[in-house]
Structure 1
C-alpha cells in the first residue's frame, strides 16, 4: 500500500499530532509500508529528513507562532504535484485544512486521487479566545466544504464525531490514539526529579501542554491561587511553552514552576514523579497528554468535556470539574491533595485503564480502514469504467 500524508504539523514541532505521526512512521517502517510525508520546512531546521519526507517553503502564521504553514504559491503546488505524480499514492491522507492541505485537495480533485482526511484541532472553537468569534460560522462552512471531498473523515473521539455531525460533516469514522507503555510508566519515577521541583515534600501537580489562552490556563492559575490562599502544601509544574507563558509567569505565583519544553526520558520522569495531573482545557479533540499521565500512574483532574471524555472516568481514574469553573477545579484538586488514599486508588486505576490502548492496535485498525476504503474505491472505479 502506498500512502501520501499531507500535514502542516510535523517534527520538529512538539504536540499531540506530531507525536501521532511519529508513532505512525514507526509503525509503517516496521510493516514495510511505502509512504511519503508532505510537510512545511522549518526555519533553522538542523535535523536531516529521511527520503520519505518532502518539505515546502513556509511562513510563521501570526495566530500560531510555534507553527509553520506552507506558502500557498505555484512553486509549492508544482513541487507537490510533481512528487505525487512520481510517487502515485494509492491513498492521499490530508491532515490539514490549511495551505498545504488545500493544495493537496486541488491535486486530488484534478487527478481523482482516493482521499481520506483527518480532523485534529478544534479551530472554530478556539476563535473566541482570540476575539474572532464573528467568523466562526464562516470557518465551519469552509471546513465543511473542504471535508466534503473526503471518502472518509477520521476523528479521534466520540465528542469530535458528535460535534462534526452537528455541523453536517459526512463519512465520519474513528481514528483513536494510543500510548507507548514503555515510555510512560510509573517505573520512571525518580525522587531527585521530584525534589528539584517540590523540595519541601509538597504534593506535586503537573500540567503538560501548550501554554496558550485556548488551553484555559487562566482557570488553572485561578484554581491554584485559591488553593494557595487556603494554605495547602503543593507545587504545580507547568511543562510546555507558548505565547501565553510570559503572561502567566509575570503573575509570580510561588506555587507554580515553569519548566518549558521537556521530552524523552526527562518528560517520562517528570510524569512518573508527580502526584496528580491537572488539565483545564475543555476543547480537546482527544487529549493525548491524558493518556500519558494515566500510563504514568497519575490520577487526572480535568473537565468532562470534548475528547477528554474518551478516557476520563470520574471516580475511577480521576475526578471531573465543570469546564471553565476555577472554584470547582480548586475543590477537586483539593480532594486529591488531602487524600493520599484517593490519589493512590485513582492512580492505580488510571494505569490499568490505558493498558490496552497501544499504538499498534490503533494503527492496525487504521490500516484495516485504509484497506477497506481502497477496495471499495477500486470496485467503484471498475463499475464506473
Structure 2
C-alpha cells in the first residue's frame, strides 16, 4: 500500500536493539525500472519475508518518484519515494531510455530524513550519495551514521558511453566528433571516476560485485574496508518452461522455424545492442536464419530496425513474470554490455535454460562455470567475432540445447537466492558498520 510520507514515522526513534538502515537508490522506481532498482526490490522483499526479530534491521529504501510516498512491505521494511531536485529527464530526448536520476549536489528532503537511521548505504554517486557524505562530514567528530557503499553499475564507463552518443547525435557537436570533441568522453569518464572514488573513500565499507572489483576498490579505499556483494536470482520465477516457445509464437507471432536470439536491457550505446544486430545482419548475409527479440527500449531501436527489418521483434519493457516466459521461449541469450558490474539478466536467462553469449572482458562472465561449458565468452569483441560465436550455437541445435541445460544446472546449484545474499553479504556489513560507529562514539567519551 502506498501512502504519503508521514513526518512522524521518520522522526520516531528506532528500537535500540534494531539497526535502522537507509539504502539510497537515486533512480526512478516504476514498472520500467532497470536491474539496479529491481535488485533492491528483491533485497527488500527478502528482508520483509523474515521475522521481525531475525534480521535485526529496520530497512528503508529511498528511491526517486514523480511524487512523494511510502510503500510498506512489512512493519520494518518500506520504500520511500522522493521527488528529484535536478532530474536528468530533461536530457532523455537526446540519449533515449537512460534511467532518470538526480544530479543535484544536495537533496534537502533526504537530508531531513537521514538522521534517524544508523547506517546510510550509498548505491550511486549522485544527489542522494553526495547529500549523505556531506551530512556525515558535518557530523564529525560527533557520532554519525555508518557509511556503506555498493557498486552496481560502472558509472564512469556509462558516462563515457552517453557522452559519445551525445557527441554523435546532438546538432553542432556531431561535426566535432572526430575533432575537438573526440576526447570529451574520456574526460567525462575520468571526472566521473574521480568523483566516485572520492565518495568511496568516505565510506566505512565498500561492497563490490566480483573478486576483481574488490581488488581494484581495495587499492582506493583499503582492502580491510572491501567485501563482496553478490546478486541473487528468483529460482521460482525463472526456470525452464517447455511450453513457453509455443506461447511466444502464438502470442507474439515470432517465427517458429528459426532460432530466437534474445537481448534484454536498454537499447543504447551503454549496452551495445547495435553490435549484436550488426552480427546477426552478417549471419543473415551468410545464409543463416535467426530472429532477434529485444526486451527494452532506447535510442538505437530505430537503427536496429533498419538493419534487421522483419528479423527483429521489439517487446519494450516487460513485467518480471512475462519476462520469465520470454527467456524460456528463446534459444540463445546475447548480452554485449561492458558497463555491468553483475548483470542480473544473465543469471535469469541461465536459470531459464539459455546458453549465454558475453564479452570475454565483461564482469558478467562471473555467472559462468567456465566459458564454453554453460555459455560463450567472445574474445574478438567485434561484429565479426560475435557473428562467429553466435553461428557456433545457431547451426548446432544439439550443442545449443546441451549448453542451455548446463546453464540451468549452474543457476540452480551455484547462483544464490536473494535471501542468501541478504543474510550472508548485506546484514553482516550493516551491523558491522553500525557497531563501528557506536564503538567510535564510546571511545570519544
TM-score normalised to structure 2 length: 0.79
Q: CA contact under 8 A between 2:21 and 2:117: conserved in structure 1? A: yes
**Residues 212-291 of structure 1 mapped to structure 2, 5 A cutoff:** 212-291=268-347
Mapped to 1, the partners of 2:286 and 2:103 lie a distance apart of 51
Structure 1 residue aligned with 2:121, among 76, 79, 93?
A: 93
1:54–1:300 Cα change, 3 Å: closer
Cα offset, 1:69, TM superposition: 2.9
- The residue correspondences of 1:368-383 to structure 2 (distance < 5 A) are 368-383=428-443
Q: Distance in 1 between matches of 2:159 and 2:381?
A: 16
Structure 1: how far apart are the matches of 2:235 and 2:242? 11
Matches of 1:240 and 1:54 in 2, distance apart? 24
Structure 1 CA distance for aligned equivalents of residues 90 and 428 of structure 2: 36
Contact 1:188 1:268 in 2 (8 A): no
Q: CA RMSD in A?
A: 2.3
Distance 2:275 2:320 in 1: 28
Unaligned runs of 5+ in 2: 1-18, 73-77, 165-184
In 2: Cα distance, 1:127 partner to 1:322 partner: 24
Picking from 134, 137, 140, the partner of 1:106 is 134
- Residue of structure 2 in register with 1:324 after alignment: 381
CA distance in 2, matches of 1:327, 1:229: 12
Match of 2:248 in 1: 193
Asked if residue 11 in structure 1 is aligned to residue 26 in structure 2, the reply is no
Are the counterparts in 1 of residues 34 and 99 from structure 2 also a CA contact under 8 Å? no
Q: Secondary structure at the match of 2:299?
A: coil
Q: What's the offset of the Cα at 1:315?
A: 1.4
Segment drifting more, 28-37 vs 173-182? 28-37
Q: In the alignment, which of 348, 352, 369 is matched to residue 409 of structure 2?
A: 352
Question: What is the deviation of 1:66?
Answer: 4.1
CA distance in 1, matches of 2:131, 2:304: 38
**Cα distance 1:249–1:345, how it changes in 2: closer, same or farther (>3 A)?**
same
3-state secondary structure, aligned to 1:8: strand
Q: Which string of whole-angstrom CA distances, capped at 9 and with x for unpartnered residues, describes residues 245-271 of structure 1?
A: 233223343322111111132211110
The 1-side partners of 2:110 and 2:315 are apart by: 39
**Shift of residue 175 of structure 1?**
0.7
Q: Which residue of 2 aligns with 1:41?
A: 65
Q: Aligned residue for 1:117?
A: 149
Identify if the C-alpha distance between structure 1 residues 107 and 227 changes in structure 2 by more than 3 Å, giving closer, same or farther: same
User: In 2, Cα distance between the equivalents of 1:186 and 1:303?
Assistant: 24
Asked if 2 retains the 8 angstrom alpha-carbon contact of 1:41 and 1:70, the reply is no
Deviation at 1:351, TM superposition (A): 0.9
The total of aligned residue pairs comes to 378
Task: State yes or no: 1:152 paired with 2:210.
Answer: no
**Cα deviation code 1:280-305 (max 9, x no counterpart):** 11232111110000000101111122
Contact 1:238 1:259 in 2 (8 A): yes
In the TM superposition, residue 188 of structure 1 has moved relative to its aligned partner by 6.8
Distance in 1 between the 2:158 and 2:105 partners? 27
Q: Determine the structure 2 residue equivalent to 1:55.
A: 82
The gaps in structure 1 that reach 5 residues or longer are none
Residue 214 of structure 1: SS of its match in structure 2?
A: coil
d(CA) in 2 for partners of 1:71, 1:222? 34
3-state secondary structure, aligned to 2:63:
strand
Structure 1 residue 3, shift from structure 2 partner: 0.6
* Alpha-carbon distance in structure 2 between the residues aligned to 1:73 and 1:128: 20
Q: Is the 8 A contact 1:61 1:68 kept in 2?
A: no
**CA separation in 2, counterparts of 1:219 and 1:122?**
19
CA 1:323–1:180 in structure 2 vs 1: closer, same or farther (change >3 Å)?
farther
User: SS where residue 238 of structure 1 aligns?
Assistant: strand
Partner-residue secondary structure (3-state), 2:238 = coil
TM-score by length of 1: 0.90
Q: Which moved more, 1:358-367 or 1:255-264?
A: 255-264
Q: Offset of 1:344 from its aligned partner?
A: 1.5
